[in-house]
Structure 1
Amino acid sequence: MLYANLEANLATLTTPSARFVLALSGGMDSRVLLHLMGRYLERYPEASCKAVHVHHGLSANADDWAALCARWAAEAGVDFVLEKVTLALGKRTSVEQQARDARYTALRAHIQLGDVLLTAQHADDQLETVLLALKRGSGPAGLSAMPQCTAFATGWHVRPLLDQPRTAIEQYASEHRLDWVEDESNSDERYDRNFLRHQVTPLLNTRWPGIRKAVTRSAALCAEQEALLQELLAEQLGQAMSADQSLDIACLHPEKPGSERRGKALLRHWLAAVGVKMPSQAQLEQVWHSVVLAQPDANPKVGWGEVEVRRFRQCLHVIQPYEDISDAVVALQLNQACRLPAAIGSLSLSESGAGQLRLPRADEPVTVRFEPAGLEVQPVGRVGKRKLKKLFQEYGVPSWLRRRTPLLFYGEQLVAVAGLFVVEAFAGKECELTWHYEQE
């Protein structure tokens, strides 16, 4: 029964000659899926499959689990790959989330164009996912839970067991006398999903045996609603997004009464389009009121996770917080490129008859700095001095990049701002300043 269901699902979602990548944790669910795929390959020899086991190093038994997975894959006639990952424990992100992110990053590396990633989530997992989404206060996107098939890397992610209850998987494992690994963390009810699995969903399934199917229908309806909303907003989002993935605030129409609901929906779809982890409802409210509705000359920002939403010239930008290099001082030798800190490229001052700068004197050591505060200069062709902060505004440099823009000094005098201008008092034709920039 379970194999017939898997074969039917794969026939609908893939082709008999597909290349499969199976995520093999070694737990009962993925162990059963591996056994099923062994049978599938016997039936469809034109298909191929490799099992990838991600070794997180979180358990003392991790090496033993990897060895067992390798053995089981060989028994099933499936190629085996071991991927070891390291988690940055101690950060604010949960261990569960870090492990999941690392796992999918490792799996993504094995997906070639058109390949199919197989994972073993089932109907009880879907129920838990919806309950967790409800606990977080998620909207239709979160309540859509896990789709049976979705795009992944350059291929697809298919969950062929998603319509089957855990009991069907347990029965199959028993009938075929399969063994599997038991991750000791699965019994730790400090983790929300484990608490639901051991304390909540058994009660729900006992009281309402059809709840798995009902929740699956609700998730599918939410997914349909979310897909429809994306279609309705797709044209508007296309008009509002620039080539640099910034979002034109005017397209949100914040000045119009009743625009907030549509504007926030467009914000969510913009964040999804640029690949950002979705903010909470409270954080989205903060983006709307503190950034979208800020005064045009304000410099607001709202951050969550490892990203920030900031505003510049009536556009919203998603950026990652940068390393502070404002105190850095880098020596620069004439005719020699130097590497700049924080991976922002290299800078060179070269002798050239078509340059914009005069040569530095022997008593003028050349350095590169990044702190613009308090500096006041006169660019070539301008009348009078202006504060560098004002000049950055005029030249269209966003506030978050101003301390990442190289400032060239002769001695203690600012002579040029890379990529923008040369200071009038140091203009000449002997030297050319070149910045090879490597980031946004």
Structure 2
Amino acid sequence: MTCSFEQAMATFQPTLPLVVGYSGGADSTALLLACAQKWPGQVSAVHVHHGLQAAADDFETHCRQVCAALNVPLTVQKVQAQPLPGQSPEDAARRHRYKAFEALALMNQGQPAMLSIALAHHADDQIETLLLALSRGAGLPGLSAMPATWTRAGISYHRPLLRVSGAELRRWLAGQGAAFVTDPSNVDERYTRNRIRARVLPALEACFPQFRDTFARSAAHAAQAQALLLEVAAEDLAQVGVPPRIKALQLMSRPRLANVLRHWLLSCHQATPTAAQLDELMHQISACRTRGHAMHLKVGTGFCERRGPELHWYNP
């Protein structure tokens, strides 16, 4: 269920000290102010300078001024987040942000606790993520949307505001009288997420006033189902081996085979097959009944091939 900003912050109990991801925008400003008020002297901030627009230097200057006024230490991580061919600007910026956070974690090595980072994604961001996943025909991992907490690369991440609407967050921030910057790209409707924010969310609000709660509940169901599938995949991978034995794979039902192949490719090789690639891979596994049957097909950024009785993946 959605809740007030104050309720969300009251239940947020991360390991301290805490780092807040701070862009200078309204959402991260509210989170930084609330955390600095709740844990004075225990909060720092990290600002990722993406280098994507002329205003980026002004954003950095603003963040430095705010943090100085709050007596909050600030680290600025500069990246060049230009998208690769075929990559969306949002995805490129997101990937570079997490690389910057991981660089900060390396600087934090030797500290007694894992680095804790809080991010200011809220309930509207969660719905936008779910709708984007639906528009792309995503499976359970995509439909699970954004987790409230997770650990990766030595960092414990937190999203304490996922049950707070954007309007509620701005209500609290207005009461603080705090200044924030507005990224002009956030209202550029060439980006799908911005079109969802500007057009779809107001329509959903009019038709289904409780959509934030019901959509979030569906995402939670998807996340629970995905967690179960991961448990089954891990058990199945232990049975078929790494690299997997083709004959063992052939004994599996098609849904279970798809599940274990996705898990093997992602957990062992950080490879994600398209739906068409996975379908063809399963077809080839089923057809591989003779000693001379060769297998070599594109999967993710590399290739799957048969080597004797086993299935291998490699990136040339």
Query: Could you say if the C-alpha distance between residues 196 and 75 of structure 1 is closer, same or farther in structure 2, counting changes exceeding 3 Å?
Result: same
Q: Which residue of 1 aligns with 2:59?
A: 65
SS at match of 1:110: helix
Q: Which residue of 2 aligns with 1:29?
A: 27
Please state which structure has a larger fraction of its residues in helix: 2
Q: Is the 8 Å Cα contact of residues 291 and 310 (structure 1) preserved in structure 2?
A: no
Q: Kindly provide the CA deviation profile for residues 373-422 of structure 1, in whole angstroms up to 9, marking residues without a partner as x.
A: xxxxxxxxxxxxxxxxxxxxxxxxxxxxxxxxxxxxxxxxxxxxxxxxxx
Report % sequence identity. Answer: 35
Unaligned 5+ segments in structure 2 are: none
Q: Which residue of 1 aligns with 2:266?
A: 272
Q: Which residue of 2 aligns with 1:5?
A: 8
Alignment of 1:324-335 (within 5 A): none
Q: Which amino acid aligns with 1:274?
A: C
Query: Could you say if the C-alpha distance between residues 261 and 90 of structure 1 is closer, same or farther in structure 2, counting changes exceeding 3 Å?
Result: closer
Q: Is the 8 Å Cα contact of residues 237 and 270 (structure 1) preserved in structure 2?
A: yes
The CA distance in 2 between the partners of 1:292 and 1:178, in whole Å, is 62
Q: Which amino acid aligns with 2:247?
A: A
Q: Which residue of 2 aligns with 1:95?
A: 89
Please state which structure has a larger fraction of its residues in strand: 1
Q: Which residue of 1 aligns with 2:73?
A: 79
The CA distance in 2 between the partners of 1:293 and 1:163, in whole Å, is 48
Q: Is the 8 Å Cα contact of residues 291 and 302 (structure 1) preserved in structure 2?
A: no
Query: Could you say if the C-alpha distance between residues 180 and 275 of structure 1 is closer, same or farther in structure 2, counting changes exceeding 3 Å?
Result: farther
The CA distance in 2 between the partners of 1:197 and 1:20, in whole Å, is 30
- 1:208, CA displacement in angstroms? 1.0
- 1:279, CA displacement in angstroms? 2.7
- Establish whether residue 311 from structure 1 lines up as the match of residue 306 from structure 2: yes
The CA distance in 2 between the partners of 1:154 and 1:182, in whole Å, is 31
Q: Which residue of 1 aligns with 2:104?
A: 110
Q: What's the C-alpha RMSD, in Å, of the aligned pairs?
A: 2.1
Higher relative contact order structure (alpha carbons within 8 Å, sequence separation ≥ 6): 2
Q: Which residue of 2 aligns with 1:239?
A: 239
The CA distance in 1 between the partners of 2:167 and 2:271, in whole Å, is 33
Question: Which one of the candidate residues 265, 282, 295 is aligned to 2:276?
Answer: 282
Q: Which residue of 2 aligns with 1:168?
A: 168
Q: Which residue of 1 aligns with 2:38?
A: 40
The CA distance in 2 between the partners of 1:169 and 1:275, in whole Å, is 40
Given the two structures, how large is their TM-score scaled by the length of structure 2?
0.89
Q: Kindly provide the CA deviation profile for residues 98-147 of structure 1, in whole angstroms up to 9, marking residues without a partner as x.
A: 11111111111223552212111111111111111111111222111111
Q: Kindly provide the CA deviation profile for residues 280-312 of structure 1, in whole angstroms up to 9, marking residues without a partner as x.
A: 3223213322466456541412143x3433332
Deviates more, 1:285-294 or 1:145-154: 285-294
Query: Could you say if the C-alpha distance between residues 311 and 84 of structure 1 is closer, same or farther in structure 2, counting changes exceeding 3 Å?
Result: farther
Unaligned 5+ segments in structure 1 are: 322-440
Q: Is the 8 Å Cα contact of residues 291 and 300 (structure 1) preserved in structure 2?
A: no
- 1:161, CA displacement in angstroms? 0.4
Q: Which residue of 2 aligns with 1:248?
A: 245
Query: Could you say if the C-alpha distance between residues 307 and 52 of structure 1 is closer, same or farther in structure 2, counting changes exceeding 3 Å?
Result: farther
- 1:67, CA displacement in angstroms? 1.0
Query: How many residue pairs align between the two structures?
Result: 305
Query: Could you say if the C-alpha distance between residues 130 and 288 of structure 1 is closer, same or farther in structure 2, counting changes exceeding 3 Å?
Result: same
- 1:29, CA displacement in angstroms? 0.7
Query: Could you say if the C-alpha distance between residues 260 and 33 of structure 1 is closer, same or farther in structure 2, counting changes exceeding 3 Å?
Result: same
Q: Is the 8 Å Cα contact of residues 262 and 272 (structure 2) preserved in structure 1?
A: yes
The CA distance in 2 between the partners of 1:266 and 1:191, in whole Å, is 34
SS at match of 1:180: coil
Q: Which residue of 2 aligns with 1:182?
A: 182
Q: Is the 8 Å Cα contact of residues 296 and 303 (structure 2) preserved in structure 1?
A: no
Bigger Rg, which one: 1
Q: Which residue of 2 aligns with 1:301?
A: 297
Q: Is the 8 Å Cα contact of residues 188 and 194 (structure 2) preserved in structure 1?
A: yes
The CA distance in 2 between the partners of 1:171 and 1:192, in whole Å, is 26
